[in-house]
Amino acid sequence: MMFMRSLRRKGALSFTRRGIEPIVRNFPSVTAAWVAACRSFGVLLPEGERLADDPYGARFARTVPLFRAPRVARALFPRRAIVYMQLRTRAIDDALLDFVRGGGRQVVLLGAGFDCRALRFARELASATVFEVDHAATQARKRAVLANDVGAKTEYVAWDFEERAVSELPAELAARGHDASQKTITIWEGVTMYLTPRAIDETVTAVAAYSAPESRLVFTYMERSLIERPSLRARAGAALVGLVGEPFRFGFEPSELGGWLEARGFSVDRDATMGELARELLGRADFDWGGRHIAFTRRLPRRGETRPA
């Protein structure tokens, strides 16, 4: 209750006329801190389960008073969640490194939160620019926490996908040095579930507009059934994110994903479930994080368009 009261005092929570729908506006994202911490806690796993290293993420755990209470922390960061975050992080890291090895130099992180890839891969991204797009409050906290760290060249673009027309994003990126004639990898990790269908549609359309052929769009998503018919476990997770003002709102139906993306200029290279990634990356057949996927997609050439050199 104290945590909720403190959020309300700071103006982070308000309630809409539609009912009890708290909205985060001017407070750093709590789910971003949870993800960052969870990523870092991979270091607590036995060596065979460690797939990604993030020495920066734990610093964001310290910024959320709730996470500092040992009993609460144990409940919020179960081993299963840490394994899930290792799988998700590693699969996306691999896609990023593959893109860079193929000559890609532009990285856009949509809803970047406290993703520290610009630091974690400072060497690999030495000649790249990372464009981080998120709420201003979350970016301010990130910049404060990482003030003394040096990573790849990063442009912070403050944006609310629900409030500001995403159709303006390509022009804003261009003003910050993004070159739409060169390929880009866009990473939209842990974000689609928090947006409205309108923002999802507008965002993918905007990504298509700034992405040259052979650009990549990698994103995580929840299956629609998790939103519409959640299991007991899924309901508990949804209640928690709702309480901190970041309710789950959107899921894709996997069988519709390919057609939906194709209509917006992308083809799906792979739509992986967490169970598949656990088999592949950990050799484990007993792990799943039900209904969560990572889609690896690529920009289709527009008519008459050529691939960037």
Contact 204, 261 (CB under 8 A): yes
Contact code string over 10-29 relative to ligand SAM, x by CB under 6 A:
-------------------x
Instruction: Give 71-129 as a 3 state SS string.
Output: HHHHHHCCHHHHHHHHHHHHHHHHHHHHHHHCCCCEEEEECCCCCCHHHHCCCCCCCCE
- Among residues 95, 291, 122, the alpha carbon closest in space to that of 186 is found at 95
Contact pick of 132, 134, 214, 223 for ligand SAM (by CB under 6 A): 134
Is residue 111 part of the contact set for ligand SAM (CB under 6 A)? yes
- Contact window for ligand SAM (CB under 6 A) among 63-71, 107-115, 275-283, 298-306: 107-115
- Contact window for ligand SAM (CB under 6 A) among 30-38, 67-75, 94-102, 277-285: 30-38
The residue written with tokens 């290293």 in the block is 53
- For residue 147, the minimal CB distance to ligand SAM (Å) is 18
Collapsed DSSP state (helix, strand, coil) of residue 174 = helix
The partner residues of 106 in beta bridges, in order of sequence, read 129
What burial class does residue 45 get, using C-beta atoms within 10 Å of its C-beta: 0-12 exposed, 13-18 middle, 19+ buried?
middle
Give the single-character DSSP code of 47.
G
Contact code string over 149-188 relative to ligand SAM, x by CB under 6 A:
----------xxxx--------------------------
Q: Which is nearer to ligand SAM, 32 or 118 (CB)?
A: 32
Is residue 113 part of the contact set for ligand SAM (CB under 6 A)? yes
Contact code string over 184-223 relative to ligand SAM, x by CB under 6 A:
-----xxx--xx----------------------------
Q: Which is nearer to ligand SAM, 85 or 214 (CB)?
A: 85
Helix (H) / strand (E) element for 217: namely strand 216-222
- For residue 246, the minimal CB distance to ligand SAM (Å) is 6
What burial class does residue 102 get, using C-beta atoms within 10 Å of its C-beta: 0-12 exposed, 13-18 middle, 19+ buried?
exposed
Q: How many residues bind ligand SAM (CB under 6 A)?
A: 22
The residue written with tokens 């650009």 in the block is 215
Which ranges constitute the DSSP H helices of 211-253?
A: 224-228, 232-243
Q: Which is nearer to ligand SAM, 29 or 215 (CB)?
A: 29
Interaction site with ligand SAM (CB under 6 A)? 29, 31-32, 35-36, 111-115, 134-135, 138, 159-162, 189-191, 194-195
